[in-house]
Amino acid sequence: MGIEASARGFSPVAFVEISGKNTNAIISRIHINGREVLRMDVRRSLALFAARSVRFDVIFADPPYENGWLERMASLSGRLSGIMDRKGIFVLEHTRRETLEPSLWNGWEISSKTYGETVLSFFHRDPGGEGESA
């Protein structure tokens, strides 16, 4: 998704990948101008973007399936909120075998679309809810 966004002129586009092999594959497919490839855990990257005051319209996450990441991402919702534009969207890819627990996402409006075994869950901050950053 990030490569497609990059090709269509989105900026900034930041890729966060912990695997060295995947990081090198991303670098080989994009033009670096306005794009950043970070080889690190997503939790570290959220803190880095917040420290830099970087804001995104769209954040797309494709963590490893069935590895506890749905709950981990929910625990990071405050950090996500801190780097998203007010009307931004967070998209989380997961498998239909994983159950998203909306109660873990207080202050967020959630909708999902299923494509075969893949689910894309879309998160918007609820204007009056706890997902709203100060």
Examine the domain organization and report whether 83 and 28 are in the same domain.
Answer: no
The answer to whether position 64 is within a domain reads yes
The answer to whether position 46 is within a domain reads no
Count: domains in the chain = 2
Query: What band does 31 get if pLDDT is binned at 50, 70 and 90?
Result: low
Examine the domain organization and report whether 26 and 61 are in the same domain.
Answer: no
Instruction: Please tell me the pTM assigned to this model.
Output: 0.83
Query: What band does 120 get if pLDDT is binned at 50, 70 and 90?
Result: very high
The answer to whether position 48 is within a domain reads no
User: Residue 65 contacts by C-beta under 8 Å, 6 or more apart in sequence?
Assistant: 94, 95, 97, 98
The answer to whether position 6 is within a domain reads yes
Least confident of 6-15, 25-34, 76-85, 86-95: 25-34
The answer to whether position 111 is within a domain reads yes
Q: What CATH number is associated with residue 107?
A: 3.40.50.150
**What is the rounded distance in angstroms from the CA atom of residue 119 to the CA atom of residue 121?**
6
pLDDT in tens, 59-74: 988 888 888 889 999 9
